[in-house]
Amino acid sequence: MSDTKPVWIRDPLAILADGAERGIVVQEGRIIELVPAGGAPASADVAAFDASDHVVLPGLINTHHHFYQTLTRALPAAMDRELFPWLQALYPVWAKLTPESLELGVTVAMSELLLSGCTTTTDHHYVFPAGLEESVDIEVGVAKRLGMRALLTRGSMNLSQRDGGLPPDSVVQDEDTILGDSARVVAKHHQRGADAMVQIALAPCSPFSVTTSLMRATADLADKLDVRLHTHLAETEDENRFCQQMYGCRPLDYLESCGWLNARTWLAHGIFFNADEMKRLGKAKTTISHCACSNQLLASGCCPVCEMEEAGVGIGIGVDGSASNDGSNLMQEVRAAFLLQRARYGVTKVSHRDALRWATKGSAACVGRPELGEIAVGKAADLALFRLDELRFSGHGDPLAALVLCGAHRADRVMVAGKWTVIDGAIPGLDVADLIRRHSAAARAMHAG
């Protein structure tokens, strides 16, 4: 495929767009034309890709993850625990991360995501033991190698057990180091504009692992550098109690007092907001990453997605870290969110289209990228194409609904910025068997002792 010649994704079996029954035309990383029923592309000089066996979605967008956690999946020492004791079991294991194991963990997570139809992902990397000062740089390298769009966050923790926080000293840094490195990675890696492939956001981990001083200073720095802000909030009752005891208020009041309640911020989880807090979030245009699998696995609770949307709060989807999911499959996460929210709100309030909307347009708002998450003229040529020739889809009556209801989990083709990054269900050039071998060995070394 030439970089400049338009490509017609022709005659899809189904497509998540109106007026594109005969497909779409992409060129130089953008969607330049929708081809309606009975129509043809404006120019005859196009390369055609036959999509008649494919369901075409806008590329899915993952709004919350911790890539390094692929190294600690299904770890017996942390299993069957709620968030705080789960974290306390895992911090000492994560303290053993090395640049080599991190790179393998990131490669596994991003590959899993890509193969599940994800074209843009965030990552919240907040563990910086000695020797891992260049974690964000490592992540940028992997994103570029795989051709994936990424909003990588410079996470942080500086409130250790010594000062009343949850993490041990071995995984925290001091405020000056954190702020200095935050400015460094933004200057070095953050791209601006609608075609950006790599962006950086700032992301103190949570109220129970970061000082108020760092929360405030990070908000000021994000404002100055014009980058987004991210953290975990309202995930568990433990966190509510911690905020009451430590700060004398609820998590959202605390967040607001730190200068974070604004459109720059997207929050992971958002389970325990009351009606007044939802209104304040909606008014501030702060958005929420809903992590259905993680919330169920850790028994944290259920994000009140419909009430949030009624209050004007934007909802995206996140797989969360692979130690609390324990996978990085965004298409499966769409199904998990659909089922969880349907169980909560009933069959008339939540449809498969809602879940797909959260993972596309909704997630695009979380990452501050309105040019992503939608099949429309002028939007990015980020697409996920699924075939329905597996046993699980046999007998379906609606191709688009079948993706969610029958449990699609693997894209056949993925396009990012007009380039195929997944072909025939595989990432060109990636030796998966070798990656699994090396990643598993790195994980075993961390689990030992």
Three-state secondary structure string covering the chain: CCCCCCEEEECCCEECCCCCCCEEEEECCEEEEEECCCCCCCCCCCEEEECCCEEEEECEEECCCCHHHHHHCCCHHHCCCCHHHHHHHHHHHHCCCCHHHHHHHHHHHHHHHHHCCEEEEEEEECCCCCCCCCHHHHHHHHHHHHCCEEEEEEEECCCCHHHCCCCCHHHCCCHHHHHHHHHHHHHHHCCCCCCCCEEEEEEECCCCCCCHHHHHHHHHHHHHHCCCEEEEECCCHHHHHHHHHHHCCCHHHHHHHCCCCCCCEEEEECCCCCHHHHHHHHHHCCEEEECHHHHHHCCCCCCCHHHHHHCCCCEEECCCCCCCCCCCCHHHHHHHHHHHHHHHHCCCCCCHHHHHHHHHHHHHHHCCCCCCCCCCCCCECCEEEEECCCHHHCCCCCHHHHHHHCCCCCCCEEEECCEEEEECCECCCCCHHHHHHHHHHHHHHHHCC
* Closer to Zn ion by Cβ: residue 62 or 199: 62
Least distance to Zn ion from the beta carbon of 375, Å? Answer: 29
Least distance to Zn ion from the beta carbon of 206, Å? Answer: 8
Residues 47 to 76: which contact Zn ion by CB under 5 A?
none
Listed ranges 81-89, 184-192, 198-206, 316-324: which one lies at the site for Zn ion (CB under 5 A):
316-324
* Closer to Zn ion by Cβ: residue 358 or 420: 358
Least distance to Zn ion from the beta carbon of 87, Å? Answer: 10
Site size for Zn ion, by CB under 5 A?
A: 1
Structure tokens at 433: 């068997």
* Closer to Zn ion by Cβ: residue 34 or 203: 203
Task: Give the β-pairing of 118-125 and 30-35.
Answer: unpaired
320 touches Zn ion (CB under 5 A): yes
* Closer to Zn ion by Cβ: residue 320 or 326: 320
* Closer to Zn ion by Cβ: residue 123 or 320: 320
Least distance to Zn ion from the beta carbon of 100, Å? Answer: 23
Least distance to Zn ion from the beta carbon of 240, Å? Answer: 17
Listed ranges 319-327, 331-339, 391-399, 404-412: which one lies at the site for Zn ion (CB under 5 A):
319-327
Show the site string, 276-315: x = touches Zn ion by CB under 5 A, - = not: ----------------------------------------
* Closer to Zn ion by Cβ: residue 22 or 125: 125
Listed ranges 186-194, 248-256, 318-326, 335-343: which one lies at the site for Zn ion (CB under 5 A):
318-326
* Closer to Zn ion by Cβ: residue 116 or 295: 295
Least distance to Zn ion from the beta carbon of 420, Å? Answer: 31
Least distance to Zn ion from the beta carbon of 69, Å? Answer: 9
235 touches Zn ion (CB under 5 A): no
* Closer to Zn ion by Cβ: residue 41 or 321: 321
333 touches Zn ion (CB under 5 A): no
Least distance to Zn ion from the beta carbon of 205, Å? Answer: 8
Residues 127 to 146: which contact Zn ion by CB under 5 A?
none
Contacts with Zn ion, residue ranges (CB under 5 A): 320
